[in-house]
Amino acid sequence: DAMVGVFDRDHIVEAVQGSAPVREAPDGPPYWIAANALAAAKARGMATTGLTVNGQDAKGVGYFESDASRMRLTPRHYAYLRMSEGCNQNCAFCTIPSIRGKMRSKPLDAIVREARELVLDGAFELLLIGQDTTSYGDDIGIGMRDDGTGGLPDLLRSLSDTVQEASGKGWIRLMYAYPTKFDDRIIDAFVELTQSGHLTPYLDIPLQHASDDMLRAMRRNVTSDVQEDLIERLRERVPGMAIRTTFITGFPGETEEDHEDLLAFIERMQFDAMGVFEYSPEDGTVAGRLDRDPDLHVDAETKRRRHDELMALQQEIAFEQAEFLASHFDGRDPATGMQFDVLIDRPAEDGLAQGRAYFQAPDIDSVTSVQSRQRLVPGELVRCVITEADGYDLVARPVDEVGRLSLPIR
């Protein structure tokens, strides 16, 4: 749907072969990819919004269909909310700018409108996505200002207000942040909205590496010290801050010293969740050309070893974190234990319902299994006490079943 629009899937073969005609869409540039989706959406009476780069007329790089009429593939109680499409970063390994184009931020009022519709339709959790969510609004003249208004902070505040007005409860989760522009203006918004709003103290921020040589080679426009300082400031200022990241191993030119730098960084940062990808060359990228140099290419065996070493370290960290959360519970004193609100994703099987606390995003993070005498249903928010650790995962029981009154929840 990123290429031809959800209304033109029958024409994918034509698009790939180049035999489909260019279609001039009303108010839009004659790009086949964007115009087909726009024309089809307008023909069906759907709201569409034209977007331009830096507000310059006739310089459009694409058009958004409203996502309001999309077919949701997630359970009803959570939904992904697209903030933007495309990316203005220039990472050496990435093909997104060439496939999806320059960044195109969705207008704030359109995002708010879709958020309200999703919440009213039963979504408790909204996951904000885009190729670079940190830079929201820069391309349409509503980016962050020096006083902390505009851009991502304004969007987060508007969405928190919308959730409060629509239902009075819910989670907002920020995904795919980029470290370069993630400064105190955004952290200020996190401090405010995790305490008095609906933003979860959780951040998905792919860092990709921690060796300065690798960060330069990857064209990340950031240093390891800046990344470390950002993580530390987030944790210092935002109570309970959970941070998820991803790294690439085996990037062309990566040395054992670079690998050791990354291991040391992970050990210091103690991430709440982490993924590692073995580098795979993509045609048309700077990194793809570098990988053809035998002096820079990292062989498959070395990539796999480094991947396994990184994940073994993260497994140790994650297991220790899970054990720490469970260690506060004493079965002889039901009033003990760490409490969290758990959003139920799956009904009970063998006496265990599956859910997530705020520090667990769907599909990519660990889960919390809930032992309950009640019939828990997807979308239900249950105050629980952590009773056990099971590797990466947690086991919990509803507070009101272990002799302690349930506490108020947002």
| Structural domain containing residue 263 | 67-325
pLDDT digit string, tens, across residues 213-264: 999 999 999 999 999 999 999 999 999 999 999 999 999 999 999 999 999 9
Q: Which residues partner with 352 through β-bridges?
A: 349, 371
pLDDT digit string, tens, across residues 363-396: 999 999 999 988 899 999 999 999 999 999 999 9
69: which DSSP letter?
T
Helix (H) or strand (E) holding 132: none
What is the token pair recorded at 50? 């034209």
Q: Among 270, 268, 249, 74, which residue's Cα sits nearest to residue 173? A: 74
Provide φ and ψ at 277, rounded to 5°: -115, 135
Total domains present in the chain = 3
Please identify, among 277, 293, 325, the residue that sits at the C-terminal boundary of a domain.
325
Is 6 part of any domain?
yes
Determine the Cα–Cα distance for residues 115 and 123; give it in Å rounded to an integer.
Answer: 9
Residue 169's contacts (CB-CB under 8 Å, 6 or more residues apart) are: 124, 163, 198, 381, 409, 410
- 278 with 250, same domain: the answer is yes
List the CATH number of the domain containing 365. Answer: 2.40.50.140
- 307 with 363, same domain: the answer is no
Indicate the average pLDDT of the chain. 84
pLDDT digit string, tens, across residues 281-314: 999 899 999 999 999 999 999 999 999 999 999 9
pLDDT digit string, tens, across residues 262-281: 999 999 999 999 999 999 99
Q: Which residues partner with 382 through β-bridges?
A: 342
Determine the Cα–Cα distance for residues 344 and 368; give it in Å rounded to an integer.
Answer: 9
Please identify, among 36, 66, 96, the residue that sits at the C-terminal boundary of a domain.
66
247: which DSSP letter?
E
- 199 with 345, same domain: the answer is no
